[in-house]
Amino acid sequence: MTLTPRLPANQNPLHKHEASSGTAEGGAIVFLTESGTVAKVTTSGQAPYGILFTPVKAPLSGLPQNYEFPTELGSITQRPGDPVDIYQEGGIFETSFYRYIGSSGINAGTLMYAHIGDASHNGKLVNDDGSTVSVADDGDGSTAKAVAEVIEPLSHKEADANKPLAVKLLI
């Protein structure tokens, strides 16, 4: 699992994952769509709303609706359009769903942003404020929105190896 709650604050199970938005990893930063569903941030103007706890897999084709393979029974994984759990309004989490940029590690107190504009990294936390890569804004298209703060530092070697990162959620 890519997101482990350590001290969750507000778990919100009342949203569905946007059916047309595809898959999403647990730990992805999501935004609230106009229809009240949530989807992984991918472009400017999508204000971060929460962090996804429930992974969303690709829909199954050629099988009955809501079909699950025996190995998936009891799993928290959902399909696009299904209800998902998101966390909001604080909490402490460990996640391996982040992108590390730099060569000196990630210090405690570093603000993390939601990566956008790159299909392989959309929705990931990134230790960049938009100066190197594109990051999600507060919905106005211009102001980078910090979504988490690092609470335990990682060395360059640890961050490069994608060791779980402890963060405090700011959204």
Over residues 35-78, the pLDDT tens digits come to 999 999 999 999 999 999 999 988 777 877 667 777 776 677 88
Please name the helix (run of DSSP H) or strand (run of DSSP E) that holds residue 160, with its range, or none.
Answer: helix 156-160
Residue with the two structure tokens 């992805």: 28
Whether 27 maps to a domain, the answer reads yes
Whether 14 maps to a domain, the answer reads yes
CA dihedral 76, 150, 8, 160 (to 10 degrees): 20
DSSP state of 137: B
Q: Strand runs (DSSP E) across the chain, as ranges?
A: 3-16, 29-32, 38-40, 48-52, 83-95, 98-99, 111-114, 125-126, 146-150, 165-169
Whether 105 maps to a domain, the answer reads no
Over residues 79-108, the pLDDT tens digits come to 888 899 999 999 999 999 999 999 999 999
Whether 55 maps to a domain, the answer reads yes
At residue 73, the pLDDT reads 66
* C-beta of residue 127 within 8 angstroms of C-beta of residue 32: no
In which domain, by residue range, is 19 found? 3-91
Give the whole-angstrom CA distance, residue 151 versus residue 162: 16
Whether 159 maps to a domain, the answer reads no
* Tally of structural domains, the chain: 1
Rounded to 5°, the CA angle 135-12-35 comes to 65
At residue 161, the pLDDT reads 95
